[in-house]
Amino acid sequence: MKWTKKLGAAAGASALLALGTVAPANAYTFQTQVPETPENTESLPIVSTYHKSDHLKANILNARPVCNTWEDYRTVVYQTDESFTPVGTISTKNQTQKDIPLTQDLSKTQTVSLSVNGSRTESLNVNLGGTGNLSKGSIDAGLAYSLAKTVGGDASYSLSWSAGQTIGPYDVPAGYTGEATYGFKMVNLTGTQQYCQLNGTWSNPVAWRANVPIKNEVQVKLYDKNSDSYITSYDEDGEVISYG
């Protein structure tokens, strides 16, 4: 009798163990996110050297200078990727029996500007070459712009979502919640920069980062369960549902 009870208890424990190992497998949702473009491509690293003069000038500290003191700059880009910078989200929960549009007219203007080393203002405080203005073009601003065009194909000094501009419409099926997050697609550049020292040689490299806007973009997400609200929506080809 004791043996029977123990067998029953063991069977019950086995059943609970089986439920404990099987049930959660259906409860978990796995999502893997990777950069939209490889961190390193065949075109990297990119070495860009800026010479203010068309010839090397005599230097009393160095008979054979490799650069002109305080005039020349070298930038090396060893990593690039694309990112999405959101500025706002609109949402609609469809509790009807028909598809309804997700749309909104913006009430304010949102702008993003080219930035170098974290400065996101029109006047760039760059780590090399002094201060430059985007409208006139500084060494760093112009360089970041040209490098972004090299790796990204498209680039801009600044982009905006304007007040009164319409987001959507995007169809939201019955029973679903639709979210449209609008923002900017950016090209991010990571590398180093050097300046020419008094003796006509390159300084030690310092960190250099640039973020360049390439287009306005809207990313749309549809879900019917709150547990899926954080999951990105993908099209048939596995691409994020986005509108440039």
Number of helices (H), then strands (E), belonging to the chain: the values are 2, 12
Per-residue pLDDT of 126-183, as tens digits, reads 444 444 554 545 667 788 888 898 888 889 888 999 999 999 999 999 999 999 999 9
Bond into 169 cis (ω within 30): yes
The H or E element spanning position 181 is: strand 177-195
The H or E element spanning position 142 is: helix 139-152
Q: How far apart are CA 23 and CA 58, in angstroms?
A: 77
- With a CB cutoff of 8 Å and minimum separation 6, the contacts of 232 are 31, 33, 219, 221, 240
% of the chain beyond a pLDDT of 90:
39
Q: Write down the pLDDT at residue 21.
A: 41
Per-residue pLDDT of 179-217, as tens digits, reads 999 999 999 999 998 989 999 999 999 888 999 999 999
Q: Given a cut of 60, is residue 31 above it in pLDDT?
A: no
- Compare 157 and 17 and report the one with higher pLDDT: 157
* pTM greater than the 0.75 cutoff: no
Q: Given a cut of 60, is residue 232 above it in pLDDT?
A: yes
Q: Find the mean pLDDT for residues 43-67.
A: 86
- pLDDT-based confidence at 239, cuts 50/70/90? low
- Compare 118 and 217 and report the one with higher pLDDT: 217
Q: Given a cut of 80, is residue 240 above it in pLDDT?
A: no
Return the residue matching tokens 């190992």: 21
Q: Given a cut of 50, is residue 67 above it in pLDDT?
A: yes
